[in-house]
Amino acid sequence: MKIMTETKQKQISETPIGGASDEEEKDNMPVGINTLPMRDRDLPPIIREIVSNAPQSRKIPAFVATLSPLCAIASRIRVKYYHDTTRLHALLLQVIIEGAQSSGKSFAADIESLIMDDTLKAHDKAQRRLEQEYREKKRRRSQNKQFEEEPQTTIRVIPPTISKTVLTKRADFYERILGDTMTFWMFAEELAQVTDAGKSGYSNLRTIMRTAYDLGSLFGIDYASDNSYSAIVDINICSMFCATPAALDEYYDRKAIEGGNITRCIVCPLDDDIDSDNDLFQPYSDEQQKVIRHTLEQMMNDSYHEDGHLMPIKQLDMSWIDRDCKRYIKRKAIEYSLTGSEAIKVFRKRSSVSAFRIASLCYYLYSLEGGFDPCKPNEGNIRQKKAQQACKKIYQFMAEYIIEQMLRRWGKKFNELNSKRYEDEKPDNNRLYDMLTPEFTRDQLKLLIKQIGSTTPARQFIWMWGPKKMNIIEIIDKNHFKKKKP
């Protein structure tokens, strides 16, 4: 009896977070995107505290809103995606919280403030003070007085109105001062700020936001003016914007849809149900605040040494999730073959990449609390095994969630644009001669010439096809002709 009890206890202790066994996990398919795939208490630290205090109608949005700011802090984490042979990934995400006016998007700002105020914003405060003091001294100096060099700062939190020149300069300073690239954090409670700034060429970040999604994708500017700044740099950005549907349509226009901006973002729509008007986020308890502060401190310690230098890169071992990624890509390929939707074919790849990065972030957070080394393969550590099973569920859920929201928002438009481009690029194999009936008139020929958009006169074609040239028509009379049999 004692042996049976011990065996049962062992089975319970080895059950992964979320309750699924290894055998059940193998064929585990996402059942929906309306609820998170596990209990609030089984989520990783910080995310767990935030989601637990969110009302039911905001559980998923609260989960999504935590991801990008946490990824921005985890700037020294690297992971290898199964599809890439050599290139490593940083945890880079671009999130859009979409909701109608007065739908309660401000919760995202509260989450951003909770995560960033005592971390990256606190780090930047002293750096920005140095820049401000330099500018004030420069204004006060006499014209002939030699002035000290501009301070080299490493600022991470940037506004959506930043110019391309300043962004390039800040990214280059990372390389020059710290010796490596770091992740910028960009947040806006109104996406219109980004759209309005983009109307000025110097602040149009559309291209940069595409390269900012991938570690190692370079952006460069090269000016002749001494007053500008020239460099070729690796700009990495994590972002979160709040937007109304109209603002989202304006920002992600045709160029963004065809250029690939949409596949790099995670759209999180908010339900604006009148039944949820009284749903409120609960205040954090002392214990929850303690967990949040402690975890954020651990994350910052993994980024910066006490002397301000960067900590070494931490490359997580994520090979245990490779099979799940392959299965998802294959499943969506089958979906494409059944539906013929080009949007599914294209969207599936980056939805998998973003979901993989989210799973990597969660695995890293689990390791901070669980005390295991995420950079090493699992060697029987029960907490590590539970974390891996939980992250597989998070990957599956988020991969489905991301692609479903992209298809809802842009699937139809993407397919229409893709179809039109295909028609425009398709070679015209309809030869004018083949389109004519065996016997035809000059007027019929003129009509077909007009239909295909040719400007060559009918008499020219008749002369080329006639007995003096190609000899493929018989001239019955001035206005009637007959094709010759080949």
Please give the backbone phi and psi of residue 20, each rounded to the nearest 5 degrees, phi first. Answer: -90, 140
HSE toward the beta carbon, residue 469, CA cutoff 13 A: 9
* Beta carbons of 235 and 184 less than 8 angstroms apart: yes
pLDDT value at residue 197: 72
Sheet of 77-79, strand order: 89-90, 77-79, 314-315
Q: How far is 140 from 151, CA to CA, in rounded Å?
A: 17
* Beta carbons of 267 and 424 less than 8 angstroms apart: no
* Beta carbons of 89 and 78 less than 8 angstroms apart: yes
The four Cα atoms 104, 110, 112, 117 give a dihedral, to 10 degrees, of 160
Each domain of the chain, given as residue ranges in start order, spans 2-140+147-272+286-425, 432-483
CA-closest candidate to residue 362, choices 398, 338, 337, 333: 398
3-state helix vs strand vs coil in the chain, percent to 5: 55, 10, 35
Please give the backbone phi and psi of residue 151, each rounded to the nearest 5 degrees, phi first. Answer: -65, 140
Residue 313, classed as helix, strand or coil, is coil
Report DSSP letters for 99-130, one per residue. Answer: --TTS-THHHHHHHHHHHTTTHHHHHHHHHHH
HSE toward the beta carbon, residue 71, CA cutoff 13 A: 31
Q: How far is 171 from 174, CA to CA, in rounded Å?
A: 5
Residue 157, classed as helix, strand or coil, is strand
* Beta carbons of 369 and 306 less than 8 angstroms apart: no
Q: Please identify every stretch of the chain with a pLDDT value under 70, giving residue numbers as ranges.
A: 1-31, 141-148, 198-203, 224, 226-227, 274-277, 422-430, 486
pLDDT value at residue 348: 96
Residue 355, classed as helix, strand or coil, is helix
pLDDT value at residue 301: 96
* Beta carbons of 25 and 389 less than 8 angstroms apart: yes
CA-closest candidate to residue 82, choices 313, 260, 324, 393: 324
Tell me which residue has tokens 């204004």: 139
pLDDT per residue as tens digits for the range 84-127: 888 999 999 999 999 988 888 999 999 999 999 999 999 898 88
User: What architecture is domain 2-140+147-272+286-425?
Assistant: 3-Layer(aba) Sandwich (3.40)
Output the pTM of the full model. 0.81
pLDDT per residue as tens digits for the range 136-174: 777 776 555 666 677 778 899 999 889 889 999 999 999
- For the chain, what percent of residues have pLDDT higher than 70? 87
Q: How far is 4 from 370, CA to CA, in rounded Å?
A: 28
Q: How far is 32 from 8, CA to CA, in rounded Å?
A: 31
pLDDT value at residue 295: 98
What letters, b where the CB count within 10 A reaches 16 and e where it falls short, cover 218-252?
A: ebebeeeeeeebebebbbbbbbbbbbbeebbebbb
* Beta carbons of 348 and 332 less than 8 angstroms apart: yes
